[in-house]
Amino acid sequence: MSDNKEKTDGLVSLVIDGQPVQAKEDWTVLETARHNHIHIPTLCYHEAVQANGGCRLCVVEAKEGNWSKIVVSCLYPVKEGLQISTSTAKVNNVRRWILEMLLAECPASKEIRTLAEAYGVNSTRFKIDRPTEQCLLCGLCVRVCEEVVGVRAISFGSRGVNKQVATPYMVPNNACVACGSCVTVCPTGAMQARLNMVRGNVSERTGHGHAH
Ligand code: SF4
């Protein structure tokens, strides 16, 4: 415990967008930016669950010595002397590419459209397989259900273009406690429409007639 504790308590100094900041050595770049009120866009990130770098929108440019590269800030660990830029031309190009892919992945999502427009992306060159889809398959709902609620009522079902967040066998799952956490964290509102399928008729199951 003491070894770990000492490590966790160590501070490293880095620079984000020209601003010198300090971070605990087990923090990521995104955590450090948030701690210092520096905005980095995210969709699949929530501080309550493990980051998984799923949406890639939080890319930033990291410079160290003579090299620089694009990294996923929610997974990238801080390091002494690191220089981070959150919105260079390179970074914004990558984000525009990601947003184009997301426009094809979940074309019915108002949130994604608004975000894409903010980056000047109004259309996509990628193929749209599911025109009514709102879900970007970031898995935040799955992680919250498992890691925070401790239930695992939902998971990724099917593969490829049919991949979706669902209950086992696509039938209402009695394990769901209808807490609504998945709906709350969903960045696009996609889980709202899916919750009825997931939880089934709660009044029949509990005799309470509503979700709480
Ligand atoms: S409402 Fe059901 S599926 Fe959603 S987080 Fe709660 S238990 Fe999991």
Across 22-47, average pLDDT: 97
pTM over 0.75, yes/no: yes
Residue 9 is predicted with a pLDDT of: 64
Three-class SS state of 72:
strand
- Pocket flag, ligand 1, residue 151 (CB < 6 Å): yes
Percent of the residues in the chain that have a pLDDT greater than 90, as a whole number: 75
Q: How far apart are CA 207 and CA 120, in angstroms?
A: 50
- 182 and 144 Cβ atoms separated by less than 8 Å: yes
The yes-or-no verdict on residue 143 having pLDDT over 90 is yes
Residue 61 CA to ligand 1 center (angstroms) comes to 36
Q: Is 182 in the pocket of ligand 1 (CB under 6 A)?
A: yes
Helix (H) or strand (E) holding 22: strand 19-24
By alpha-carbon position, which residue is closest to atom 6 of ligand 1?
179
Asked if residue 165 has its Cβ within 6 Å of ligand 1, the reply is no
Under DSSP, is residue 109 helix (H, G, I), strand (E, B) or coil? coil
**pLDDT at res. 195:** 85
Q: What confidence category does residue 138 fall into, taking pLDDT thresholds of 50, 70 and 90? A: very high
Contact, 209 vs 203, CB < 8 A? yes
Please tell me the residue having the least CA distance from ligand 1 atom 8.
Answer: 145
Is the pLDDT reported for residue 112 higher than 60? Answer: yes
- What the block records as the tokens of 51 is 């980051």
| Confidence label for 204 from pLDDT (cuts 50, 70 and 90) | low
Per CATH, 2-87 and 140-206 having the same topology is answered no
* Over residues 120-134, mean pLDDT: 95
Tokens of 141: 């709902």
CA of 104 to the centre of ligand 1 (A): 27
Q: What pLDDT, on a 0 to 100 scale, did the predictor assign at position 5?
A: 44
CA distances from 21 to 25, 33, 88, 99, 198 (A): 12, 9, 19, 29, 43
In this predicted model, what pLDDT tens digit does every residue of 52-86 receive, in sequence order? 999 999 999 999 999 999 999 999 999 999 999 99
Q: Which CATH code is given to the segment(s) 2-87?
A: 3.10.20.740
Of 136 and 195, more confident: 136
Segments making up each domain of the chain, as ranges: 2-87, 140-206
Gap from CA of 210 to ligand 1 centroid (Å): 14
| Ligand 1 centroid from CA 133, angstroms | 20
* CATH number listed for the domain at residues 140-206: 3.30.70
Q: Is 194 in the pocket of ligand 1 (CB under 6 A)?
A: no
**Can you tell me the distance from the alpha carbon of 70 to that of 198, in angstroms, rounded to the nearest whole number?**
38
pLDDT, residue 139, reads 93
Confidence check: pLDDT of 212 > 90: no
Query: What pLDDT is recorded for position 170?
Result: 81
* pLDDT of the residue at 168: 81
Q: What tens digit of pLDDT does each residue of 159-194 get?
A: 777 788 888 878 888 899 999 999 999 999 999 888
Q: Which residues contact 212 (CB under 8 A, 6 or more apart)?
A: 178
Region 135-162 average pLDDT: 90
Per-residue pLDDT, 210? 45
Band (3; pLDDT cuts 50, 70, 90) = very low
Residue 131 tokens read as: 């025109």
